Structure 1
Amino acid sequence: MDSIPALLADPAAWAALATLIVMEVVLGIDNLIFISILSNKLPEAERQKARRLGIGLALVMRLVLLSGIAWLVGLTAPVFDLGITGAPGAHGEPTFETQFSWRDLILIAGGLFLVWKATKEIHHNVDPHPNADVFDTAKSTLSFGAAIAQILVLDLVFSIDSILTAVGMTEHLPIMVVAVITAVVVMLLASNPLANFINKNPTVVMLALGFLLMIGAVLIADGFGVHVPKGYIYTAMAFSAGVEILNIVARRRKARGAAAETPAGH
């Protein structure tokens, strides 16, 4: 066990903690977007409960994984090899891995689930039932138990990715625990504002589903050994979100202008 007083007196430990907190918060965005979209499909009285329970499960799962770091790291050991030679890359190495670990299989399964879920929701929003509101229809098709089960599946995938990132950044368990707890608290504080924002701006739903589709594809690629730098992913997400915010502001100003020009009584 690391000496906590020694870590408190070590500036490098504080720097590692700050860096890891930022990284964990960023990695938690994926988890939070999924929880927000799924909870908005529930009756309004159950949404906040689902968000809190989903984020609470994410915290428990991360702490359990931290308590078994040796087992978790063992998930990266190859369990089987397809024996297929991939096409050579620029330096002669295969462009994808043929050896798969449990981590790879979990990422691939989670990515496939995320792609399936996002594709299903996009299809439902693009082609809703006749004479029914697209978002009201979507909300009525999911039970509380089904929502929690789906959140639990993705919590596991995102937690493994999160903790493996933490293990790669520091060897001190107390720093990992504090960073994970801080990131989950930030997720908890941001869950309601984010979910409400998505719910009040229907076009953001499609953007968020596009994010989930992209994240699912990245998880699958990562499982096959094709590592896409996460900085590129989050930069693209931030840019898209910024453009959508500008569109929302423009629509609201146009609506206010139209309302101001409408004569009284019309």
Structure 2
Amino acid sequence: MEILFTPNALMALLTLTFLEIILGIDNIVFLSIVSGKLKAEDQPKARRVGLLLAMVFRIILLFGITWVMGLKEVLFHVDWGFFEAGVTGQSLIIFGGGLFLLYKSVSEIHHKMEGEEEGTTGKASNSLSAAIIQIALLNIVFSFDSILTAIGMVSNAEPEQGGFGHAGALIIMILAVVISIVIMMIFAGPVSKFVNEHPTIQILGLSFLILIGVMLIAEGSHLAHFRFGANVEVGTIPKGYLYFSIFFSLFVEFLNLRMKKNRKPVKLHNNKIIDRKLKDEDVTN
């Protein structure tokens, strides 16, 4: 346990916690949109259950690191001449999650643009249980992707070799997950309220989920070694580029909201003269 209180371990815990929070932003956006269609009294419960599910799934996956890493083994090969692939368990989960995220994001944008909002007088399909099922399905994918990133960051080599050991690395990753989920629980309510009160933020958030869905599909294709022709292999989309574009877009949207809030209505200095002319024209007509 002494190694957990070393500067290297504390830095790894801080870095991994920050990364978990960043990777959890898309989870909070999805939670906000799904819970926003529920009754007001059910929304906090849906957010709490969703984030607790995220924590439970990630901890279970951390304890099953051997199983997670075993999913890299190829399940079956595909060779059609112009297309080759070696499909693994990891690629199936991440690719399927990306497709689900694309479908859900596009359908939500369609409902909002077409004015098909489901309220209390609309469809009853958006019950608490249905929302939790959607949240659970997506949490599996988000948790899987997050844990793969965490495993790559924290070395489980022995302390003599510059690592934290298997037990030390596991404790660091579990602590990072728990701390990040607690922080997200604290801010999930205000973030959800802000997202649901601003339609432009909702559309922006759904657009981010489309980006993340495309990223997951590309990552799943890369893990499955999708190859077209002789030399064209699908690569991954760097997450740094993706999250930079998300934060930059949010920054610009916040500036727009601030400008709209501070904008004063334009008043014409000669508005009395214009009003008088309009009244004279009405009398003449």
**Same fold at TM > 0.5:** yes
Instruction: Return closer, same or farther for 1:105/1:175 CA change in 2, 3 Å cut-off.
Output: same
Distance 2:88 2:257 in 1: 44
Per the alignment, residue 49 of structure 1 pairs with 45
Displacement of 1:136 in angstroms is 4.2
**Does 1:23 pair with 2:19?**
yes
Gap regions ≥5 residues in structure 1: 88-96, 262-266
Given the alignment, which residue of 82, 101, 107 partners 1:120? 107
Displacement of 1:258 in angstroms is 3.0
Per the alignment, residue 278 of structure 2 pairs with none
Displacement of 1:81 in angstroms is 1.6
Write out per-residue CA displacement over residues 139-171 of structure 1, whole angstroms, 9 at most, x where no aligned residue. Answer: 965111110000000100000111111111112
* Residues 152-161 or 168-177, more deviating: 168-177
Per the alignment, residue 258 of structure 1 pairs with 265
Distance 1:166 1:86 in 2: 35
Per the alignment, residue 195 of structure 2 pairs with 198
Displacement of 1:5 in angstroms is 1.8
Per the alignment, residue 91 of structure 1 pairs with none
Distance 2:114 2:32 in 1: 22
Given the alignment, which residue of 147, 164, 169 partners 2:153? 169
Correspondence list, 1:175-254, <5 A: 175-225=172-222, 226-254=235-263
Given the alignment, which residue of 123, 129, 133 partners 1:145? 129
Equivalent pair of 2:74/2:88 in contact (CA under 8 Å): yes
Per the alignment, residue 30 of structure 2 pairs with 34
Q: Residue 81 of structure 1: SS of its match in structure 2? A: strand
Equivalent pair of 2:33/2:202 in contact (CA under 8 Å): yes
One-letter identity of the residue aligned with 2:34: L
Q: Residue 54 of structure 1: SS of its match in structure 2? A: helix
Per the alignment, residue 92 of structure 1 pairs with none
Equivalent pair of 1:107/1:222 in contact (CA under 8 Å): yes
Distance 2:202 2:119 in 1: 13
Per the alignment, residue 94 of structure 1 pairs with none
Distance 1:35 1:237 in 2: 17
Distance 2:47 2:150 in 1: 24
Displacement of 1:83 in angstroms is 2.3
Distance 2:189 2:123 in 1: 17
Displacement of 1:11 in angstroms is 1.7
Q: Residue 24 of structure 2: SS of its match in structure 1? A: helix
Instruction: Return closer, same or farther for 1:207/1:139 CA change in 2, 3 Å cut-off.
Output: farther
Q: TM-score scaled to structure 2, two decimals?
A: 0.80
Per the alignment, residue 98 of structure 1 pairs with 85
Distance 1:260 1:155 in 2: 51
Displacement of 1:29 in angstroms is 0.9
Distance 1:111 1:148 in 2: 19
Gap regions ≥5 residues in structure 2: 157-168, 223-234, 269-285
Distance 1:176 1:204 in 2: 32
Instruction: Return closer, same or farther for 1:86/1:5 CA change in 2, 3 Å cut-off.
Output: farther
Write out per-residue CA displacement over residues 218-260 of structure 1, whole angstroms, 9 at most, x where no aligned residue. Answer: 1111100021110000000001101111111111112xx2399
C-alpha RMSD of the superposition: 2.1
Q: TM-score scaled to structure 1, two decimals?
A: 0.85
Write out per-residue CA displacement over residues 168-209 of structure 1, whole angstroms, 9 at most, x where no aligned residue. Answer: 111211110111111111111111011000111111110000
Equivalent pair of 1:42/1:139 in contact (CA under 8 Å): no
Distance 2:23 2:109 in 1: 23
